[in-house]
Amino acid sequence: MNQPPVLISAERIADRVRELAAEISADYADKGDLVLIGVLKGSFVFLADLARELTIPRTIEFIAVSSYATGSKSSGAVRLIMDVRGNIENRHVLIVEDIVDSGHTLAYLLGILSSHRPASIRTCTLLHKAECAEVEVDIDYVGFPIGDEWVVGYGLDYAERDRTLPYIGIVTPDDRR
């Protein structure tokens, strides 16, 4: 497979991550320790860069879910693979996602994490495919709105490939064979 064409450059991503971190830091400046919950596997690169840019106290947790897909389309069924390990009760939580498209996974996560009784839950995603939404979810911080392209890089993959690209690239149907 050739290198995917660039949709969002590494420089644009770095700039936007700094902007998001400044906004989040300002919003949580007087709230104490923020718990960042990264959704595995895709969010790990974005989460790491975002966490380093924040200027407020923060801790990091991870959660893993699996959504059942048929081809490149999610069925909407989501199941928990790994819950957060730390106590988030009465703490401010920020879910950090790589991409939100149908909204099923984020809606599921909001329900699961609400059961832990945090002080607040907000959401942050690097990429948002608003035109693919099937479930209404509020996203508090969005890195980049994108169309209905299949994307890889900066944590996102196709068949576990291209996660480590420093940019967001587009995978064409021919590349997905």
Please list the active-site residues.
101
- Phi first, then psi: give them for residue 79, nearest 5 degrees: -135, 150
Q: Rounded to an integer, what is the distance from CA 134 to the centroid of its chain? A: 17
- Is the C-alpha dihedral spanning 165, 101, 109, 89 positive or negative? positive
Exposed e or buried b for every residue in 97-128, given b needs 16+ CB within 10 A? bbbbbbbbbbbbbbeebeebebeebbbbbbbb
